């Protein structure tokens, strides 16, 4: 199937500091493209892959599960680790959960992580029935474009495939058990008004990780897809400053740019 316009993966060859960006469930790289381009414009090497089953049509997602999505970001991370001296991982929603698992598994090879409205649990009351209903209900209404900013749209599916939703549920349960293995410096930005992932998910992540260098920021003007919302520029600037604090070469360049 052809990729939806705007949903293509993005790659930029920059300096010795790399950033992997992970998009969300039923979404696409489009939701993170402005963030990726902001970082690329500041000389970083940037990788924003398209997760399997995403960016085409929701029926394609029925054939994929969390192992496929995780394998893709793990591959992209290893590529960056081979190429760069320091690597950071950023994620939105399910992309935040993917980021947390990469952090738990790869340890000190990841210099820091940035999470935006990270998902920790499937909260839909019907989720408990997914092991059964996935066999006779193929999809449920979509979750894309939870954005406060008028005119801002997310390229994502208008339906949620139930098989994939069941796989997501199992994945989030797995990641929750691995959170104590996360030790990297962390910047977590979340929206008090989020109609997809409630703030309790961010609170649980903050409570369970072992990271000691943690910054929490509230995105008061945005809904779930905050990277396309009113607070987008703040996310971009704060995440770049976060890298600058932890990566000496970027910190020097940032200081020179600021000065």
| Positions marked catalytic | 93, 194, 224
Whether 13 contacts 45, CB under 8 Å = yes
What is the rounded distance in angstroms from the CA atom of residue 114 to the CA atom of residue 210? 15
């Amino acid at each position: 199937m052809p990729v939806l316009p705007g949903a293509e993966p993005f790659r930029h060859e920059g300096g010795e500091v790399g950033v992997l960006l992970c998009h969300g469930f039923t979404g696409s790289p489009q939701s993170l493209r402005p963030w990726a381009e902001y970082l690329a414009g500041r000389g970083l090497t940037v990788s924003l892959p398209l997760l399997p089953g995403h960016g085409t049509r929701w029926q394609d997602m029925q054939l994929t599960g969390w192992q496929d999505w995780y394998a893709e970001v793990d591959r992209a991370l290893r590529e960056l680790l081979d190429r760069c001296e320091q690597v950071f991982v950023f994620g939105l929603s399910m992309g935040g959960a993917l980021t947390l698992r990469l952090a738990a598994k790869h340890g000190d090879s990841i210099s820091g992580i940035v999470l935006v409205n990270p998902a920790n649990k499937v909260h839909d009351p019907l989720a408990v029935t997914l092991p059964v209903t996935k066999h006779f209900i193929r999809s449920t209404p979509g979750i894309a474009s939870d954005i406060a900013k008028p005119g801002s749209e997310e390229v994502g599916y208008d339906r949620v495939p139930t098989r994939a939703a069941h796989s997501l549920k199992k994945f989030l349960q797995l990641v929750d058990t691995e959170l104590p293995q996360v030790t990297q410096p962390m910047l977590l930005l979340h929206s008090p008004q989020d109609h997809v992932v409630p703030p309790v998910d961010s609170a649980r992540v903050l409570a369970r990780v072992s990271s000691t260098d943690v910054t929490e920021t509230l995105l008061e003007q945005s809904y779930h897809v905050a990277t396309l919302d009113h607070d987008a520029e703040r996310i971009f600037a704060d995440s770049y400053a976060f890298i600058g604090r932890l990566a000496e070469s970027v910190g020097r360049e940032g200081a020179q740019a600021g000065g």
